[in-house]
Amino acid sequence: MKKKATLYRMETSDHICPFGLKAKHLLKKHGYELDDQILESREQTDAFKEQHDVKTTPQVFIEGKRIGGYDDLVAYLGLQQQDKDETTYKPIIAIFSVTFLMSLALSINFYDSINYASVLMWFIGISMCVLAVQKLRDLEAFTNQFITYDLLAMKYIPYAKVYAFAEAYAGVGMLSGLNPMFYAPVSLFIGTVGAISVCKAVYVDKRDLKCACVGGDSNVPLGFVSLTENLMMIFAASYMLIKFL
C-alpha cells in the first residue's frame, strides 16, 4: 500500500508558494498518496502555523508524522540539494553551450554549411554580449565582486562599471561586420588587463575567489573559465586587427 502524505501549502489569489508546488511534485513522484491541503488566505496560514507551532509553510506530514518544510522533505527522501555557497560551473557551461549552438545556427543560415572561422568569431561575440548582460543586470553586485581581483578596477573603481559596457560594445562590434578598428582595441585592452589580473590573483597570489564573469554573487570559481573569457577577447581582437591590416 502507498504511504499517505498530507501537504499544507499556501495558495491564494495573490500568492502561490513555489516550495509548496515543489513539495507536491516530489511526493507524487515518489509514489505517496497525497492529501493536498490548500491554505487559501493569510489568516488560514497564520492559524495553521500557530496551531502546529511552525514558522513557515509548506509543511509535510507522512503517516501522521510531521516531516517539516520543503528542505526537510528533500532530506527525508534522501535527495541531494545543492549548497547555495558551493562553487559550480553550471552557469558558464549553459551560456557557452547555447552561444555555440547559436553560432552554428547562424553559420548554417548564412552559408548553408559550417564556416568554422565565422562560427568561432560569432561564438566569441555572442558570448561576450551574453556575459555582458549578466553583468549589467546588477552592476553593483558585479562591481563588488570584480574589484576584488581586477588590477585596474582596484586602482580606479569606476572602471568596473565601464568594463561591463565595454564588453557589450566589443561583442556587438564583432557581430556587426564593421571596421574592427572601432571595437577590437577595446576588446584587446579589457581582455589583456583581465587575463593578467586573473593570472596574478589565482596562479601567483593563490587566492580562492569567485568569478564575476557571469555577474555578481556567482558561485563560479575564479580561474580557468575567467582566463578563457579574457583570452577569447584577446584572440578575437587580434585576429580581426591582423585580418584588417
Report DSSP letters for 37-76, one per residue: EEE-SHHHHHHHHHHHT-SSS-EEEETTEEEESHHHHHHH
Which of residues 32, 47, 76 is at a domain's end? 76
Q: How many residues does the chain have?
A: 245
| Residue 150 sits in the same domain as residue 60 | no
Domain identity same for 177 and 60: no
Q: Specify if 83 maps to a domain.
A: no
Close Cβ partners of 226 (under 8 Å, ≥ 6 residues apart) = 194, 198, 202, 211, 213
Same domain, 18 and 40: yes
Cα separation, 33 vs 192, in Å, equals 60
Residue 84 is assigned to a structural domain of this protein? no
Residues 53, 141, single domain; the answer is: no
What's the pTM value of the predicted model, to 2 decimals? 0.80
Hey, what's the cell of 234?
A: 584577446
| Weakly modelled stretches of the chain, pLDDT under 70 | 1, 81-85
> The domain that contains 53 carries what CATH number?
3.40.30.10
* Whether 114 and 153 share a structural domain: yes
Query: Do 116 and 71 belong together in one domain?
Result: no
Residue 82 forms part of a structural domain: no
Q: Do 169 and 223 sit in the same domain of this protein?
A: yes
Query: Count of domains in the chain?
Result: 2
Q: Interior CA angle at 225 toward 223 and 228, to 5°?
A: 105
List the alpha helices (DSSP H) in the chain.
18-29, 42-52, 70-76, 90-111, 116-136, 139-146, 151-155, 159-176, 184-198, 224-244
Contact 70, 64 (CB under 8 A): no
Residues 165 and 225 in one domain: yes
Report d(CA 23, CA 20) in Å as an integer: 5
Contact in structure between 19 and 70 (CB atoms under 8 Å): yes
Cα 225 to Cα 35: distance, rounded to the nearest angstrom: 47
In this prediction, residue 87 carries a pLDDT of 76
List the domain range (segments joined by +) for residue 46.
4-76
- Does 143 map to a domain? yes
Are 175 and 198 in the same domain? yes
Same domain, 94 and 197: yes
24 shares a domain with 105: no
Q: Which amino acid is at 177?
A: G
**Whether 112 and 232 share a structural domain:** yes
Q: Is position 81 within any domain?
A: no
pLDDT of 84:
61
pLDDT at 223: 85
Sheet containing 59-62: give its strands across: 33-39, 4-10, 59-62, 65-68
In a domain, residue 18? The reply is yes
